[in-house]
Structure 1
Amino acid sequence: MSRQAAFLALLAGLAGFARAQENAVTSAQVEQALDRGSRFLKQVQEPGGSWSFRSYQEGSTALVAYALLLAGVPDSDPSIAKAFRFLDGHPPKDTYAVSLHALALCEADPEKHKRRIENSARWLERSQLSNGAWTYHPLARGLAEPAGDHSNTQFAVLGLWAAEKAGVEIAPEVWRKVSEHFREVQNKDGGWSYEGGAGRQDSRYSMTAAALGCLLLARGGEAQAGPECGQALGDETIARGLEALSRLGGARLPGNLYDLYALERVGMFAHRSVAGGVDWYPEGAARLVESQAQNGSWHLYSQEVGTALALLFLAKGSAPLLVSKLHVREGPESRLDDVEGLVRFASAAFERTFAWQSVEWEAPLEEVLVAPVLCINHHEELDIDADKAGWLRRYVRNGGTIVANSCCREFDASFRRWIGLAFPGGELEILEDDHPIYSAHRAIRDPELRFLEGLRWDCRLSVIYSPKDLSYGWATGMNKGDIGGQDARELGANVIAFVVGKPEELDRLRQVELAEEGGPVEPAERGAIPPGAFVPALLVHDGDCNPDPGLGREWLAALPDRLPVQTSADFRQLSPDSSELFNHPFLFLKGHDAFAFAPDHVARLKKHLEAGGFLYAECCCGKKAFDGAFRSFARALFPDRELAVLAPDHEFWRAWEGPLGPVEFTPDSGRPAGKPPFEGIEIGGRLAVVYSPEAVGCAIAGHDRGRCAGVKDREAAFAVYDRLVAYAMSR
């Protein structure tokens, strides 16, 4: 029987295995729900193009059209064209309808509909009450002015915000009055009621969410002339409102679709993954996917309104998170429009809508790591303690990348101290002029713009630092000093492209699994190993034993699609004296630095290999310190055997899917294309030890290859690892 046939026989029956996280909703499920909901709404559209709800025919039609557009229905679709024709013949005349019509037009084609959008914006400006709120209709001359209500007000603010984004100039006075209104009528408990007059009622969840959304948008409108650099934009009113929202909702998802949509707006406008005390998008999306009716609808007031609100939540919140902005100190929050501007520019550059979030030091890493970039920007000197340094280090060890920007010299000095504390022995270095970061999106040809610095940690460029201020250009698109606004944004887009690699593959609902911390995990903390599963054990040693925590997850996640094999989610980290050692036939040994095992550990590993175990060792980035240490370890392990280079026709290379073709190597390797320079030790006619003196796994993890000796291409690295698994498990 051939080795490949033996391998297949051993693994028979495992091919359908899939790992799924309990209660997790996927982006594919959300897309399916959006499609089903859209099809339902198109099916129930009236022949004249409207969707009706009570007497709000214009408003409900605009609401549904807006929801369909956000759900991905193009403006050329007959359902949208019919809806707009209906609204042309029945011009909206109340605040809800005018606001929703503006939102739909802005989403469809803001340039094509600019005149109508501007007309809607002017209608809303004229209809604003003197206290900053809105009611259903413009006030008739001679009538006493009402207090207005916060439901109409929130939709008016949304319509004006969309119009401003579409290029319509909104009077600053409008935003000032909105802001002053909600600050004046905030209840003592931090929440808001439906009306804001003298006889206002108790705080309500939906109106508190509405008020917060309005304040956040008004703050953005007022921030056009706000503070520069990283100066603070403190807001006690918003902070109290967010606390009230969590309290009013009991830190649970709200019970109806109107409140759920209101929560989504708070989460989006506050740039928080957790709002109202809940991880609002994953939890809300899971509930909506589960509760969708068989015909594709949801119900609130009517199926049309309920389905539209559900689609708005699912579609708006699904934008992948691109950046986490770190709130670096207690007290007022740093200005946020730098990241807002960068993410908006990146969305246009990569032709996909992205979002970002604001995070605190104590935020769970699973939440922060959903975005691939952690942005740090401030203008003052800041201290960092050991706990914060450890948090940054764990963030990087789990695959995150820090992108920092120096507004001022005070921050520059303190950030460099941060690096020394968080990454002992690490130091920022100026990146080479030909570094791929300068061509990741568009070529940065001006040598004066190639000033970025970086820290290579965990086999990759883990920290990217600009000693010059880019944040002003990100926020405004305007020049500051010798940095042009457009140049700042282009350089930022290059950084994003370099870090992310494939922005189109980012997923808002990606499940983050953290690498094991603190060395080996005891057996009681692990799940059971299914019989016949491939669960590699990463050997713990004192020479940087897990230099690339993301490798195991990347490799093992892809493995079931390449080989008929059941796997774990990551390596199992084990010391050689672990009672679990002999439960893991495949041992993985990796590192950058010199290491040594105690004699009793060497003896135990030798016993494991002589009993049929397999050891694969890899010199990460081709570092000489690890290479020398491994060769000493191999001599101690088998004094009477030597590492020998595997011949090009060795059966190892044919262990899976025939011979391995020529493999290309990085410039630092300098090797011509061919077989990797593997070496091995045989026992009883089989390879018990395979050693790679250069990196293979770095290509799988997609790291910066400018300073790494090893395999160049990801697919070639997977093909090499396929043979390791097939060879080891077929023996």
Structure 2
Amino acid sequence: MMRISRQMLFVVITTLALLPAVVRAQSDSVATPLTPREPLTLDRIDAAITRAVKAIKKQEPHYALRADSDFDNSRWGKTRNWRVLHEAGNHALALWALFESGESYQQPELMRRLYWVLADDRPFTFDRAMRMKMLERLRPDQWRTWLRRDAIWLQGAISPAGGFGASWFGRKPSENLDAANSAYGSLGLAAAAFADVPLKEQDWQRIDNFWRKTQDPKIGGWSLGSAGKSENNKRISGPMTAAGALVLSITERYLYGPKLASNNAPRPPDNLQRALDWLNSNFTLDDPAEQDDFYFYMWTIQRVGHTSGYRTFNNIDWYEAVTNRLLETQQEDGTWKGSKGPLVETAFSLLYLARAHAPIAIAKLQFDGRWNNRPHDALNFVEWAADELESPMEWQIVRADLPTEQLRQAPLLYISSDREIKLSAAELAGLRRYVQAGGLIVINPEGVMTPPLRRSIDTIVEAVSEPAQLVDLPLDHDVRQMYVPWPSRPNTMYVTNGIRPQVVVFQEDVGAMLQSNDRTHPWAFGSLVDLYLYAVGRTTHRSRFSTDYLPPLPQPEDKNLQDGARVAILQHDGLSDPEPDAWTQLRRYMAKTHRMKLAIDKLPIDQLSEEHALAMLVCTGDAAIDDPQVQTIRKYLDAGGLLWIDAAGGSREAAQNADQLFRQLAGESARGTWLTSDSPLITGAKLVGGHDLRSVDYRQLVMQRYGPTHNVRLLCHMTKDRPTILLSTEDITAGLTGLDHWGIYGYEPQAARALIANTLLQQLNRTKKPDKTPAKPAPADKPKAPKNAEDTQESAAPVAASLS
């Protein structure tokens, strides 16, 4: 029997759909999220979670025995008092949500509630399934006996047709079936698989057949009463369609998953795809008919998005839209209102928000061709990584023409095919922007590397990277040792810009191992998780909002900037601009932080002029300048310019190269001096909007080498009591770009950007010409007119105040 992992179960069980064997292209139109009242931030989500946790803890169960009147003197199967009838299931759901949010069951008040839930013996599918989901979040070796008890009950409750009714009393399974309870029952059985309770393949096959037969053959959805004989509840609904996708996701993964590692394997029927198509055409947050199960539906959509990789449904960015809606509808007491009562509605909302921070670890590129032969490769990877790193992760399907800020949400972009990868010029340009913004492309050739496939890979490499040269990934490269060592397998080639890998190409079919979910080959999963950890700087518990990438300023903000400075990026014989997006990010940073319009000129050294407030000379280890270029730079410095030499990436080769350039420009006999901590470049003193950098953050690699250090380390060459050359052997360029990658020896992005900002502010201050027109005295009988806003210290003007 196939072994089901913890994270796999969490998704497959808890979630309501899984990626089909062949996913059809989503609409290319731009997603239309709700307009939020406030920006969507991690702080808002955390605050909502805190309020919800407190609210659920206040809603304790009725620990004493209930009177018959509490059940309306009705029999178990007929009462409509949901809150009383399903009290054990409701509190199991609530505990599940609390555990998912990081609350410990060992808290006395939760321990009491946990054992109360375990002691209940109600014969309802919902209650049993919710209790198993609750237990799944605890240690399986400690609670497996309890899981087995309910697993045996659920196995007995399966009807011959493969569905579940609302209840089972130990005899013949109910024939009064419905979609909701059939979904709950399947959820519980998947939890049983996690507890190593043996399940027969024929049970999965019966459940699979049941959902395929009850799906509407024309529309592709399900109604609550799809399995019933009466005509009641026959409206096709979002929650029940998502529930149908839930069960088919479980059965398809169990029955078909490993077989699809072969590109020639037969594909399952398209029922699951038709369910996703229905959601992709009908999903909305504003259908009045869906309000009874709204919060359950939103939680379901989150899980469907995880398992399918869809980032939009019906052209709606479901993550942004649903998260904002939940934040906006939470009550002051921390609950959410709904027909099932505040406990159930709050629990489903909390389950959603508890996973709202999960980062997008990897994106899978969709293109015209055979891009999805292994439909579960990326999903299996994120679940394996989440299990290993003990942190939830997401993935999504993307097209290359998405805005860069959306593509950049994923540090890895996975491309896999067994045929030529045909991309348009616009798509190749989108991939180039993604790489320049800090993304890492991972290419997996399926099966044999054919000549057409290899040529198409070369085309991608040439389009996105300079220099475009694939070489063997060194066996001692840091990326091979991040988490799971893979010194020899898989054989891998890569392209680097001297700072970081930009493209990685596997020479073995890693995707086949991912699709089969064969964890006896850890190098297949380990190679990808190592690439992920390398790209995020070894940050295992990373938030979805953790990014230093700055998107463009929205209109019309970008038109209300003041003219600032010109910066020259000097070209030399070598890799002079390894991270082109560094200057785009710097321009956006100065616009956002200082309201300054920055002009960037990338030019040969002989075109350097006095117009440039700052010149950047970037090297990675191969920079060289000749005597005429040295004289041009010295002339620029004598005229008041400032040169910054940066060892991009901070490697030993780059640092030695930067030091050589410094000596060549300052003079072999000249000695550099360390910039003192009282320099305005560090203190930000007397600079309007200046940054106090007396304590800065370095990357982990620096901290490992030198220990805790927070002092700016800049070597400078002084001319007439002012610095004219600044040398940083700790990286600045990658920090400006906003890169999080491991292997970079330098400043964190915020510190790097602030250092350059202070430099520009001081240069602008130095070159600012004082106004020599004498001020007219104000009339004696009138008060002096207030200064203009741009003249005050509180102004956002980009020009620094005069230094005394």
Counterparts of 1:38-77 in structure 2, within 5 Å, are 38-46=53-61, 48=63, 53-77=83-107
Structure 2 gap segments, 5+ residues each? 1-35, 66-80, 604-608, 626-630, 684-692, 703-708, 767-804
Question: Cα distance 1:275–1:538, how it changes in 2: closer, same or farther (>3 A)?
Answer: farther
Alignment of 1:380-459 (within 5 A): 380-410=419-449, 413-414=454-455, 416-422=457-463, 423=465, 425-444=467-486, 447-449=487-489, 451-457=491-497, 459=499
- For the residues of structure 2 that align with 1:271 and 1:316, how far apart are their CA atoms? 15
Secondary structure of 1:357 counterpart: strand
Match of 1:729 in 2: 761
CA 1:107–1:140: 2 relative to 1, 3 Å: closer
Give, in angstroms, the shift of residue 251 of structure 1.
7.6
TM-superposition CA deviations, 1:200-258 (whole Å, max 9, x none): 72311222222222222322222344221566857633333223224333486975323
Aligned residue for 1:195? 225
Residue 114 of structure 1 and its aligned partner are, at CA, apart by: 1.3
The residue that corresponds to 1:648 in the other structure is 672
Corresponding residue of 1:465: 505
Q: Within the alignment, does 1:359 sit opposite 2:407 as a pair?
A: no
In structure 2, the CA distance between the partners of 1:522 and 1:557, relative to structure 1 (3 Å rule), is: closer
Alpha-carbon distance change, 620 to 156 in structure 1, aligned in 2, over 3 angstroms: same
Aligned to 2:44, the other structure's residue is in SS state helix
- Whether contact under 8 Å (2:367, 2:422) holds in the other structure is no
CA contact (8 A) 2:590 2:597 kept: no
Q: 1:653 to 1:158 in 2, by over 3 A?
A: same
Shift in CA distance, 680/22, structure 1 to aligned 2, threshold 3 Å: farther
Q: How does 1:210-289 map to 2 (within 5 A)?
A: 210-229=243-262, 236-250=270-284, 256-289=294-327
1:373 aligns with 2:412: yes
Instruction: Provide the C-alpha distance between the structure 1 equivalents of 2:637 and 2:297, rounded to a whole number of angstroms.
Output: 61
Find the residue that maps to 1:402 and give its secondary structure. strand
CA contact 2:484–2:522 (8 Å) conserved in 1 = no
Indicate the SS of the match to 1:455. Answer: strand
Hey, what does 2:781 align to over in structure 1? Answer: none
Contact residue 49 and residue 79 of structure 1 kept, 8 A: no
1:295 aligns with 2:337: no
The 2-side partners of 1:24 and 1:659 are apart by 31
Q: Distance in 2 between matches of 1:557 and 1:112?
A: 53
**Which residue identity lines up with residue 138 of structure 1 in the other structure?**
W
Q: Which position in structure 1 is the counterpart of 2:354?
A: 315
The counterpart of 1:109, out of the listed 114, 133, 139, is: 139
Please name the residue that 1:506 is paired with.
542
Structure 2 residue identity aligned to 1:528: N
Q: 1:216 to 1:457 in 2, by over 3 A?
A: farther
SS of equivalent residue, structure 2 residue 442: strand
Partners of 1:399 and 1:356 in 2: CA distance = 18
1:380 & 1:365 partners in 2: Cα distance?
Answer: 26
Gap change, CA 1:554 and 1:506, over 3 Å in 2: farther
Q: Does 1:162 align with 2:203?
A: no
Distance in structure 2 (CA, Å) of the matches to 1:96 and 1:523: 50
Asked if structure 2 preserves the Cα contact closer than 8 Å seen for 1:252 and 1:276, the reply is no
1:671-723 deviation digits (Å, cap 9, x = unpaired): xx9998967695x76456657799642467567787xxxx93436x9878766
Structure 1 residue 436: Cα displacement? 0.9
Q: Give the Cα–Cα distance (whole angstroms) in 1 for the partners of residues 83 and 507 of structure 2.
A: 57
SS of the residue 2:167 aligns to: coil
d(CA) in 2 for partners of 1:729, 1:216: 57
CA–CA separation in structure 2 for the residues paired with 1:88 and 1:524:
58
Measure how far apart 1:323 and its partner are: 1.5
Change beyond 3 A, Cα 1:512–1:219: farther
**In structure 2, what is the equivalent of residue 6 of structure 1?**
none
User: Which amino acid is the alignment partner of residue 454 of structure 1?
Assistant: Y
C-alpha distance 364-92 of structure 1, shift in aligned 2 (>3 A): farther
Q: Using the alignment, how far apart are the partners of 2:217 and 2:40 within structure 1?
A: 37
Structure 1 distance, partners of 2:111, 2:575, is 61
Secondary structure of the structure 2 residue equivalent to 1:526? helix
The runs of 5 or more residues in structure 1 that have no matched partner are 1-20, 597-601, 636-640, 668-672
Amino acid at match of 2:83: F
C-alpha deviation, 1:136, in angstroms: 0.5
Partner of 2:380: 341
CA distance in 1, matches of 2:676, 2:246: 61
Q: Give the structure 2 partner of residue 7 of structure 1.
A: none
Which residue of the partner structure matches residue 160 of structure 2? Answer: 130
Please say if 1:486 is aligned against 2:529.
no
| Distance 1:345-1:201 versus aligned 2 partners, 3 A rule | closer
Distance change >3 Å, CA 381–CA 207, structure 1 → 2: same
For residues 51-81 of structure 1, give each alpha carbon's deviation from its aligned partner in whole angstroms, at most 9, with x where no partner exists.
9814221221211111111121112122332
SS where residue 434 of structure 1 aligns?
coil
Give the structure 2 partner of residue 306 of structure 1.
345
Deviation for aligned residue 1:314: 0.8
> Counterpart amino acid of 2:240?
M
SS of residue in 2 equivalent to 1:80 = helix
Match of 2:784 in 1: none
Relative to structure 1, the CA distance from residue 144 to residue 98 in structure 2 (aligned partners, 3 Å threshold; closer, same or farther) is closer
| Alignment check: 8 A CA contact 2:220 2:275 kept | yes
**Residue in 1 that maps onto 2:12:** none
Which is further off, 371-380 or 329-338? 329-338
The one-letter amino acid paired with 2:458 is R
Distance in 1 of aligned mates of 2:598 and 2:543: 24
User: For residue 9 of structure 1, what is the aligned residue in structure 2?
Assistant: none
Task: Tell me by how many angstroms 1:126 deviates.
Answer: 2.6
Q: From the superposition, tell whether residues 703 and 113 of structure 1 become closer, same or farther in structure 2 (CA, over 3 Å).
A: closer
For residue 25 of structure 1, report the CA deviation from its aligned partner.
1.7
Deviates more, 1:135-144 or 1:196-205: 135-144
Q: Structure 1's 335 and 659: CA in aligned 2 closer, same or farther, altered over 3 A? A: closer
Matched with 1:15 is none
- TM, length-normalised to structure 1: 0.76
Matched residue SS, 2:416: strand
C-alpha distance in 1 between matches for 2:83 and 2:750: 56
Matched, 1:119 2:152: no
Conserved? CA contact 1:540–1:575, under 8 Å: yes
- Whole-Å separation in 1 of the counterparts to 2:362 and 2:198: 28
> Structure 2 counterpart of 1:24, which letter?
P
State the 1:165 CA deviation: 3.3
Q: AA paired with 1:318?
A: H
Work out which of the residue numbers 564, 578, 581 in structure 2 matches 1:547: 578
Tell me by how many angstroms 1:99 deviates.
Answer: 0.7
Task: After superposing the two structures, state which structure 1 stretch, 644-653 or 197-206, moved more.
Answer: 644-653
Residue 46 of structure 2 corresponds to residue 31 of structure 1 = yes
Q: For the Cα contact (< 8 Å) 1:416–1:428, is it kept in 2?
A: no
Letter in 1 for 2:210: H
Deviation for aligned residue 1:408: 1.5
Contact 2:562–2:595 under 8 Å retained in 1: no
Q: For 1:416, give the aligned amino acid.
A: I
Greater Cα offset, 642-651 or 401-410: 642-651
* Contact 1:234–1:332 (Cα < 8 Å) also in 2: no
Q: Pick closer, same or farther for the CA change 1:582–1:334 going to 2, 3 Å.
A: farther
Contact residue 52 and residue 61 of structure 1 kept, 8 A: no
Q: Which amino acid aligns with 1:266?
A: V
